[in-house]
Amino acid sequence: MPIATPEVYAEMIDRAKAGSFAYPAINVTSSQTLNAAIKGFADAESDGIVQVSTGGAEYISGPTVKDRVRGAIAFAAFAHEVAKSYDVQIALHTDHAPLDAVEQWVKPLLAASTERVKAGQAPLFGSHMWDGSAVPLDQNLKVAEELLALSADAKTILEIEVGVVGGEEDGVAHEINDKLYTTVEDGLATAEALGVGERGRYLTALTFGNVHGVYKPGNVKLRPEILRDIQQSVGERYGKDKPFDLVFHGGSGSTAEEISAAVDYGVVKMNIDTDTQYAFTRPVVDHMFRNYDGVLKIDGEVGNKKAYDPRAWGKLAEAGLAARVVEAAQQLRSAGQKLR
């Protein structure tokens, strides 16, 4: 199938919310990780979301070039082609754009998609994230209002973050403290500024103790009931059940029970990066250790070309990441839920 159209992406979100499941959103940084993520979704019979961050887009453009716009466009073009080989719907997303990346990354990509839409084509991406967690809420929502209007022109969905995710991702870092919990007042302010769908569709990352990075279960103090309380309060004011389409950031180390509760309260998208990075790298390490004298030319020997051929260990890495995507789809209940 081709990459999900705006209409199909909206249907995906509606189905997830109505059916109490969520899509894994897998960060990728290369053609290999992209292929592996899509293969994982296909194996799980789950539609899904594949996303690229500013750092990922820079890497895709060439590690010494570091052109995030060009890298993102190249990523989207490649994804639009290879996705045709699979029978699941894949939505493309750009992840975590702090304030400086709005002008230098998100807006140029929205402009490119708007031109495509005017020409009768689909947008490059299905959604873009504005990460306003490092600025005051009023500024966060002011930028979001502008981007929501631009997103409507591009037929894309906006993702925002209201609250703070702890830890660090792509240079955006926050301390782990009480600021990690979005309040009901924050939720009401968001709905007042952006509406509840009538001004354009957006996804909302409300924070309930989320932390980016690597943490063992129990080290991150999640409070999913915060999502329930915000949904209830905003829903009562606007006469709408679960008014927000929620996103779960910083899920590494979360328990199955915490993830399940978050999905029940309206989470339709869960970002996964740290765990899939490890799932991709671990088989490569195993291959190198097992084939040490083959991947290296030791003591004047010639090594074993079949061992150091990048495809040899690359296939193992892709299989590892794909398997982790299947696990995520099962945990988020999207497995077997693909659009027919």
DSSP letters, 175-225, are -SSGGGB--HHHHHHHHHHH-SSTT--EEEEE-BS-B-S---TTSS---TH
Q: Is 333 helix (H, G, I), strand (E, B) or coil?
A: coil
Contact 179, 164 (CB under 8 A): yes
206/294 Cα distance (integer angstroms): 49
In angstroms, the Cα distances linking 118 to 42, 94, 114, 321 are 32, 21, 6, 37
**Summary count for the chain: helices (H), strands (E):** 14, 10
- Those residues whose C-beta lies under 8 Å from the C-beta of residue 285, and which sit 6 or more positions away, are none
In angstroms, the Cα distances linking 142 to 33, 103, 184, 189, 250 are 35, 14, 19, 11, 25
Query: What are the residues facing 246 on neighbouring strands?
Result: 204, 267
Among 194, 331, 318, 214, which residue's Cα sits nearest to residue 275? 214
| One-letter identity of residue 316 | L
Of 47, 95, 170, 273, the catalytic one is 95
Query: What are the residues facing 206 on neighbouring strands?
Result: 162
- Is 95 labeled as catalytic in the residue annotation? yes
Buried b (16+ CB within 10 A) or exposed e, 306-320: ebbeeebbbeebbbb
Among 204, 226, 181, which residue's Cα sits nearest to residue 131? 204
Angle between helices 225-238 and 184-194 (to 10 degrees): 40
Active site (catalytic) residues: 95
